[in-house]
Amino acid sequence: MWRPPLAGAAKRVEAIYEVPYLAHACMEPMNCTARGDRRGGARFGVVPRIPRRRQAAAAKVLGIPPARVKVHVQYLGGGFGRRGVRRTS
């Protein structure tokens, strides 16, 4: 007959652990800053998951080559991938 593993233990320890409520919210903002430069390029400060994809998207919107778009990556955490996928809903 099967018995739960703790049923035959020589010593049993029980404990209750409590922690305060923690919001599982992202720490980074869902925005960016953008600035054009005098040579027809652009600079972006953003928290991207895939910087090159953001660079390509900005270049497409602005109608300039990706090489003229500089993405300044800000290292913040907590995005959990929500920016890495385009959602259509």
pLDDT tens, position by position, 2-58? 777 777 788 888 899 988 887 766 666 677 888 988 888 899 888 777 889 889 999
Higher pLDDT among residues 81 and 34, named by residue: 34
User: Mind giving me the DSSP string for 35-60?
Assistant: EE-TTS-EEEEE--SSHHHHHHHHHH
Q: What's the token pair of residue 1?
A: 């007959």
pLDDT at residue 4, rounded to an integer: 74
Residue 76 to residue 59: CA distance in whole angstroms: 24
CB atoms inside a 10 Å sphere around CB 51: 14
